[in-house]
A and B are shown apart, each in its own frame.
Chain A
Amino acid sequence: MEHIETAVFSVGEFLDYINEIFSARTYTIEGEISEFRPHPTGAYFSLKDKEGEGILNCYMNPFTYRSLGVTLEDGMLVKAHGTPKIYKPKGRFSFVADSIELSGEGTIRKAYEALKKKLEEEGLFSRKREIPEFISRVGIITSKTGAVIDDFRKNLKSRGFELFLYDVRVEGAQAHKHIAGAIRWFNGHAPECDVLVLIRGGGSLEDLQPFNNELVAREIFSSRIPVIAGIGHDRDVPIASMTSDYMTSTPSFAATLVNESWKRLFETVPVAERRIVDGCDDIVYAVNTAIGAAAEKFISGIRYIRTQTRAYTQTILRAFSDTLEKTKTVITNAEKIVVLMNPERNLKLGYSIIYNGDGRVLKSIREIKKDDTITASVADGSFKARVETI
């Protein structure tokens, strides 16, 4: 291009040239919104100083406007961030805002209250899901720099947690987009987390604007994964906290809550352990007692068998001994009889047997008469005799 001072531009060329210069950097303009007109092709409004005559026409494309998470209206003090531009077909100067932040306590509080009321009426604050037990994978949404993440990690107990950090801006005009994007990412991508933890240190209502943002609130509400909010605040509870399933006032409390998910285990296990040990002790004691009793029984059984065996042995021995004695007595008695009754012995002793004439043994005097012939047997023979007198 020729030297700029001597160059001749067409209108279009000049406007393009100027727009190119404008687009080289961005500006932040603070002013009060007036003549706000939402339109399908974008949001049109003016920014003006509270005092003085300055008026700046502004435009925001519809997609950017929808992703603001803030409903703009006349009278709001805002900080618009963007670039100036001249609209070629009309030759109109305007400011194209790519983001807007509320400014001034009054505006911010008013917007906060309005959004709170709106979301409360919609029921976004009343749905609370249980924080799962035994959390293992934790999705953390916060800035990777600063004390907050360290504070959270320091307060986590050693439970084998897997931590996944999504680094976001937690302050400024773009922060709400980052936060909403992080929630969306955890819900749509691996890793499958048990819980999301949205944490930030304390700040004023102005600092916490990203956490009082409708877009963020709706993203939390649509999260499939339960959300714990640990956002420091003073008087006004952040809307993000109210929408979350569980809110705590600091990142360290959020860590405590994650730890608490293991509470039942740490309360139950020692009791169960004690019970098991006691139960085992009881079993061992019972088994020992049973073994002792069985051994005692066995020993007394053996003793009884021994005693009985001894008794039976003695009885048998005694009975057999008696039988022997009886048998001996029988034999002795029989011997006596046999000896006594042996005719030979009696004859030897001098006894004799007298027979009559018929050969019958004479046992009575009445069986003989005078002159009968009798035969007498003695030990060594026999002889005949005649009866002379009776």
Chain B
Amino acid sequence: MEQKTKKQKSDIGAKLDKLAEIVAWFDEQKEVDVERGLEKAREGAVLIKELKEKMKDVENEFREIKKDLQSVDEE
């Protein structure tokens, strides 16, 4: 579980970094490069989709953890 979380985190981090690079790439463009722009947009879309899924997992896991901790507190 812990390993999974760590892996997930590093995975999410790497994907976020990559996504940030794509966003930055778009910001830096002075001229329109349709092919590269398309390529970056597709790459970004994949990353966003994956990140959303990962976030859903993380959120679910966090909800479980929260529930556990709250039940311990109530004891």
Contacts and interface: CB of A to CB of B under 8 A. Distances in A.
Interface of A: 309-310, 313, 317, 320-321, 324, 327-328, 330-331, 333-335, 337-339, 341-345, 347, 353, 360-361, 363, 377
B41 A342 contact: yes
Interface string B50-71: 0110010011001001100100
Which size class do B's interface residues fall under? 20 to 34
A300 B65 CA distance: 27
Question: Majority SS of interface residues in chain B?
Answer: helix
B73 interface: yes
A335 B48 contact: yes
B37 A342 contact: yes
A353 B32 contact: yes
A342 B31 contact: no
B14 interface: no
Contacts of A317: 65-66, 69
B1 interface: no
A338 B26 contact: yes
B23 A334 contact: yes
Contacts of B19: 330-331, 334, 338
Most A-side CB within 10 Å, residue of B41, B45, B66, B73: B41
A324 B52 CA distance: 11
- Among A320, A341, A342, which residue has the most Cβ atoms of chain B within 10 A? A341
B51 A331 contact: yes
Contacts of A377: 34
5 contacts: A330-B20, A335-B48, A344-B34, A353-B34, A377-B34
B45 A338 contact: yes
Contact of A334 (B22, B37, B69): B22
